[in-house]
Amino acid sequence: MNRNAFGAVCAVLLVATACADPEASRTSSPDANAEAVVAGTMTEVCEAARQEGELVSWNSENPEAFQKIFDEFSKTYPGIKLTSVEVRPDDLVQKMVTEADAGHRSEVDAISIMMDKSGPLFDHHLINTAIDFTKLGVQPKYISDQNAVRTERIAIGLTYNTDQVAASELPNTWDELVNAKWQGKVVVDPRGDQLQLLAIVWGKDPTVDYVNRLRRTVQPQIVQGATAGILTVASGENKITTNGPSAETAEQQAKGAPVAIKYLDVVPAVDYYTAVPVGARHPNAGACFTAWLNSDPGRQAKERYAFKANDDLPPAAGNAQLAVITNADEAAEVADTVAQISAVWAGRS
């Protein structure tokens, strides 16, 4: 899910795809520095967006998929030109903070962020908190305290090879995975993804203890990257990966791979939010698109083209417990946990 550093892989969609530097059109004129007000209903805000005529988005989506999603948006809200820059969430944060510290106005109207990586944006007050997304049809539960809107939730389970493993053979809990019958057949990610999220439910020490027991008993294969791990499962090289995101699994299923996902008693999940920065040149466009992504048509487009849902919990997860970062304290505990898990897989612990 992470991408190469900002600027190294710059995929810009300007209705037709082109590559552009978001700093290229900066102007210092007084009129350009006047920030528009975002107010009214979805219809009113999106009409103001049409008059602004442009949306600049920084996101970590596959460029082709993002263009298709925006094309769906344009069917309802035409007349807005898209400039899309592909950038990893952590690089996005660094770029925005650096620009703000230099006194430069934001060059982006909508940003895709993760709560655990966006602390500096919140500390520097770089998110527009004046927009009332509830008036644009967004339910309060999807709006963070920092006024970012949740636009996708990627659930994590065991992705397994359906040709080699029957669903009935799979564990129902994470603890049941610690079984010698899976020795050498399970993939883990050396970075800790996404086992570190279990600490939100279990706590750091029990989670690290679990990883140590998994290492000793199962002796898993180390493969970095969710997609890379899933591909080794699809090929039959391995049978299960613990880093089985719903989106990547669904994408490989669509390509005909013999894989499926099994959710266990705790479901780690990764949330992505969309927000409008302070000083955005087209804030109504940013707000209109953000609210649309959270709407039913926006969700359907995300699922169709990027395989990403926004369910609170996947229906297949039943009554499982959710493990997702919702605040700074949880983010800090997860960061501490992932460092220790990485040390376990590296043989340093």
Is the peptide bond between 196 and the residue preceding it cis, with omega within 30 degrees of 0?
Answer: no
Same domain, yes or no, for 207 and 264?
yes
Instruction: Please report, for the domain that includes residue 22, its CATH number.
Output: 3.40.190.10
- Structural domain count of the chain: 2
* pLDDT score of 299: 98
35-45 confidence digits (pLDDT tens):
789 999 999 99
* pLDDT score of 244: 96
Same domain, yes or no, for 26 and 127?
yes
pLDDT band per the 50, 70, 90 thresholds, residue 18: very low
Cα–Cα distance for residue pair 277/128, rounded to 1 Å: 5
* pLDDT score of 36: 82
Same domain, yes or no, for 208 and 289?
no
pLDDT band per the 50, 70, 90 thresholds, residue 137: very high
Same domain, yes or no, for 49 and 59?
yes
Q: Span 191-206, mean pLDDT?
A: 96
Same domain, yes or no, for 242 and 262?
yes
Burial 113-147 (b: 16+ CB within 10 A, else e): bbbbbbeebbeeebbbeebebebbebeeebbbebb
Same domain, yes or no, for 183 and 106?
no
Residue 131 lies in domain: 12-152+271-306
Nearest CA among 233, 253, 235 for reference residue 243: 233
* pLDDT score of 7: 40
* pLDDT score of 17: 37
Residue 12 clears pLDDT 60, i.e. is over it: no
Q: Where does residue 32 rank: exposed (0-12), middle (13-18), buried (19+ CB within 10 A)?
A: exposed
Same domain, yes or no, for 213 and 234?
yes
pLDDT band per the 50, 70, 90 thresholds, residue 206: very high
Same domain, yes or no, for 135 and 180?
no
Q: Span 220-234, mean pLDDT?
A: 97
Q: Span 163-168, mean pLDDT?
A: 97
282-301 confidence digits (pLDDT tens):
999 999 999 999 999 999 99
Residue 82 DSSP SS3: strand
For the record, the structure tokens of 277 come out as 């920065």
Same domain, yes or no, for 26 and 106?
yes
**DSSP conformation class of 4:** P
Residue 281 clears pLDDT 80, i.e. is over it: yes
* pLDDT score of 34: 58
